[in-house]
Structure 1
Amino acid sequence: MISMIGLIGGLVLLTVLVMRGMNLLVVAPLSAVVVALLNGLPLFPQLAGEGEIDFVTSYMNGFSGFITSWYLMFLAGAIFGKVMEDSGAADSVSNWIVTKIGIKNAVLAVVLACAVLTYGGVSLFVVAFAVYPMAVSLFKEANLPRRFIPAALAFGSTTFTMTSAGSPEIQNWIPIPFLGTNPYAGWEVSLIVAIFILIFGYWWLMKIIRRAVKNGEHFIERETDNKEIRTNLPHPIVSLIPLLSVLIVSFVFHDSLSQSALIIALLSGIITTWIFNRKYFRNFWKAVGEGTTGALIAIGNTAAVVGFGGVAKVTPAFETAVEFMTSIPGDPLIGGAVAVIVIAGLTGSSSGGQSIALPILGPHYLDMGVNAEALHRTVSLSSGTLDSLPHGGYAVTTIRAIAGETHKSAYPAFFCLVVLVPLIAVILAVALFSLGFGI
């Protein structure tokens, strides 16, 4: 009982401290200490017996292991996003979207811009960095409260694109080696679910924003806002070439290189951006440097919560929870969905949650005869739910580091769009697979 209190209490502490504005890189290990102490783990290797698990080793294995596995992908993705921004290609694509749908649909423009960049292979964190300046100008022109920008960015990046079939994001690729599938697994159900998320989620977001405007909220400028307006931009069709390059290269090299194909694909995006838009660059190497910094911020926040998960997963309480979740009676897809949702919530990371859950859940459910494609899509969709609790790396980075908002002002809408809507989508997907659709 005490060990379970420690596990849940550590997660609650992590959430509360993040909501109070503390740095994730500090509060994640601090909360993990609470989990370790109440689960009887020695704090340091020197205090542990031979073969005994300790806090420092467990936390740093999780932290460094995630960086080892994903740093090059984060780096390539961040640099790609920055060179797209510096060359004006990201603005060109975004502006093209705006001209097609109008300023009255400013929120939809932000959502679609994020969707195009995300499905084109740009890292989720980088998409937020790249689209935020455009989002600020659009919300300013439409006089909409800027506290809803994080929700719009996250909705366009982490919902109907991140976990959909064909997406080059890691949340769609992690299940592949465990389940023997491909990035297009369960595409029929994925398409239906993505359309549902887009329509229902956008309706809900606009309802929330309109209520705030009706209550007298409006856009408030800041001194730090970028006032620069670029007029010399590459053609939007040319600007789309790097995005298409990422998609095509990742598809071509998937079978031979698996996860590493995404690194090659993002490098192709960087190279094609330079080739086709080099005369529009303001400072290519400065963009590379800023992209590198962005990658370190993004992967640092994510690795911090994966480190928390690294401690949580070696505790007796976590083992008990996993045993319970993998033995849930009824439809195995429901059990798999619940397990991944809970583990992603405990770790605060969709990718971290999958990395922890799939080595256990994959063989367990495949041995039960579960359809691999259905499990792939269900797991992918499920990972993009409770990963966006207040302590999640993406939530902290987008709300505070990028948008400069507080969790108190920005997180309620963020929660509705990026937690509740995906949860409903998981239920829809499981229902469709259970009825035999797409299998």
Structure 2
Amino acid sequence: MISMIGLIGGLALLTFLVMRGMNLLVVAPLSALFVAVLNGLPLFPQLAAEGQADFVTGYMDGFAGFITSWYLMFLAGAIFGKVMEDSGAAESVSNWIVSKIGMKHAVLAVVLACAVLTYGGVSLFVVAFAVYPMAISLFKEANLPRRFIPAALAFGSTTFTMTSAGSPEIQNWIPIPYLGTSPYAGWQVSLIVAIFILILGQWLLMKMIRKAVAKGEHFVERETDNKEKRNRLPYPLLSLIPLLAVLVVSFIFHDSLEQSALIIALLSGIITTWLLNRKYFRDFWSAVGDGTMGALIAIGNTAAVVGFGGVAKVTPAFETAVNFMTDIPGSPLIGGAIAVMVIAGLTGSSSGGQTIALPILAPHYLDMGVDAEALHRTVSLSSGTLDSLPHGGYAVTTIRSICGETHKSAYPSFGVVTVLVPLIGVILAVILFSLGLGN
């Protein structure tokens, strides 16, 4: 009982402190320490018996493991976003989009830009870095409150694209070896749910933005923004080429290099931006330096939260929670969905929710005769729900590190489009599969 209080209490403490705007590099290990103490974990490896988990090792394995896996991609993504901004390419693309679809669709333009890159295989974190400069330009032109930018970025990246059939994102590929399915599993239901999420999420996001504008909110510039008026910008179609280069190169090398393909793809985007727009740069190397510092802050904040998940995963309470979730009676699709989303919420990771739950769920449910494609799609969709709670790695990076907002101002809209709307999408998927669609 005390161990479960420690697990839930630690998560609540982390969420509360994050929403209060406290430094993640401090509050994440502090919250993890709370979990460890109430679960009886030794604090140091020297105090642990052979093979026994301890607080320091659990936290640092999660923290360092994330940096090892993602640092070069964070670095390349942040630099790419900065050189797109410094060259004027992001502003040029933004102006072109506005001229074509109108200022009233500026938010949709940001959402769709993220969706195209995400479905093209570009990492979610990298998409946020790459599209943020364009989002700033669009929101500034449309005079919309910038606190809604994180929601627009996340909605286009982590919802109707990340977990859909055919998506090259890892959240769609993890179930394959466990269930013997393909990336297109349950595509009929997936298509319906994706369209539903896009329509509902966009409607709710615009409703929140219009309400804020009606109350007098508008775009507010910051000291860190580039305020210099450009006399000339790169050609819009040329400015789109670096984005397309990232998309194409990522697609070409995705099967052979998997995640590492993004490093090559982003380097190609940086090089392409420099080659096509070098005469428009204010200061190329200064942009590279700014991007590097941004990457360090972003990955540090995210790794701090991942470290919390590393401690949570080795506690007795976590094992108890997983066993309880996987034994929920009723429809296996409902049980699978709840198990994956709760674990994703506890670890702050959509992929973590799947990799922990599927080794237990898959053989159990397949032996029961559950349709593998329906389970694949339900599990994938479910992983993209509670992973976006305030302490989630992507939420922290996008809101705090990339966009420079506070959770208090930005998370309400962020949570609506990344937690509430996908949850409704999961319910719709379960209903459609239960009715026999896609079988």
Q: SS state of the match for residue 226, structure 2?
A: coil
For residues 83-162 of structure 1, the aligned pairs below 5 Å read: 83-162=83-162
Q: Unaligned stretches of 5+ in structure 1?
A: none
> 2:58 maps to what in 1?
58
1:34 Cα deviation from its structure 2 partner:
0.7
Query: 1:121–1:266: 8 Å Cα contact kept in structure 2?
Result: no
**1:77, 1:123 within 8 Å by CA — same for their partners in 2?**
no
| Counterpart in the other structure of 2:34 | 34
| Distance of 1:305 and 1:150 partners within structure 2 | 18
**Given that residues 170 and 351 in structure 2 are in contact (C-alpha distance below 8 angstroms), is that contact kept between their aligned partners in structure 1?**
yes
Please report how far the alpha carbon of residue 100 of structure 1 lies from its aligned counterpart in structure 2 after TM superposition. Answer: 1.6
Say what the alpha-carbon RMSD is for the aligned residues: 2.9
Shift of residue 126, structure 1, vs aligned partner: 3.7
Asked if 1:3 is matched to 2:3, the reply is yes
- Percent identity, please: 86
Counterparts of 2:8 and 2:136, CA distance in 1: 37
> Which whole-Å deviations, capped at 9, do the CAs of 1:56-85 have from their partners, x for residues lacking one?
111112222233333344444444444444
Range moving further from structure 2, 16-25 or 259-268: 259-268
State the one-letter code of the partner of 2:394. Answer: Y
Within 5 Å, give how 1:270-309 maps onto structure 2.
Answer: 270-274=270-274, 276-277=276-277, 280-309=280-309
How many residues are matched?
439
Match of 2:357 in 1: 357
Aligned AA (1:163): T
Partner Cα distance (2:59, 2:415) in 1? 27
Deviates most, 24-33 or 266-275? 266-275
Q: Distance in 1 between the 2:97 and 2:35 partners?
A: 47
**Who is 2:68 aligned against?**
68
Per the TM alignment, residue 148 of structure 1 is displaced from its structure 2 partner at its CA by 2.3
* Segment drifting more, 17-26 vs 171-180: 171-180
1: CA distance, partners of 2:48 / 2:250: 44
**Residue 168 of structure 1 contacts residue 247 of structure 1 at CA under 8 Å; is this kept in 2?**
no
Deviation of 1:322 after TM superposition, in Å, equals: 0.5
Give the distance between the partners of 1:233 and 1:16, measured in 2 at CA. 44
Q: CA separation of 1:271/1:366 partners in 2, compared to 1, >3 Å: closer, same or farther?
A: farther
For 2:226, the aligned partner's letter is N
Distance in 1 between residues matched to 2:225 and 2:248, nearest whole Å: 36
Q: 1:212 to 1:266 in 2, by over 3 A?
A: closer
Shift of 1:235: 4.1
**Residue identity matched to 1:302:** T
Are residue 393 (structure 1) and residue 393 (structure 2) matched? yes
Q: Is 1:377 matched up with 2:384?
A: no
Whether contact under 8 Å (2:78, 2:130) holds in the other structure is no
The offset of 1:135, in angstroms, is 3.3
**What is the Cα deviation at residue 318 of structure 1?**
0.8
Please tell me the residue identity of whatever aligns with 2:110: V
Letter in 2 for 1:15: T
Contact 1:77 1:121 in 2 (8 A): no
The match for 1:171 is 171
Q: Which amino acid aligns with 1:99?
A: S
Contact 2:298 2:402 in 1 (8 A): no
- Equivalence for 2:426: 426
**Length-normalised TM-score, structure 2:** 0.88
SS in 2 for 1:110: helix
C-alpha separation in 2, matches of 1:182 and 1:228: 49
Distance 1:134-1:256 versus aligned 2 partners, 3 A rule = closer
User: Higher mean Cα deviation, 68-77 or 16-25?
Assistant: 68-77
Question: Do 1:185 and 1:374's aligned partners in 2 also have CA atoms closer than 8 Å?
Answer: yes
Change (3 A) 1:159 1:53: same
Structure 1 counterpart of 2:343, one-letter code = I
Kindly state the Cα deviation for residue 370 of structure 1 after the two structures are TM-superposed.
Answer: 3.9
CA–CA separation in structure 1 for the residues paired with 2:106 and 2:151: 13
- The answer to whether the 8 Å contact 1:7/1:317 transfers is yes
| Aligned 8 A contact 2:24 2:301 in 1 | yes
Q: Deviations over 1:236-279 (max 9, x none)?
A: 44444444444444444444444444444444544555555555
2:24 counterpart residue number: 24
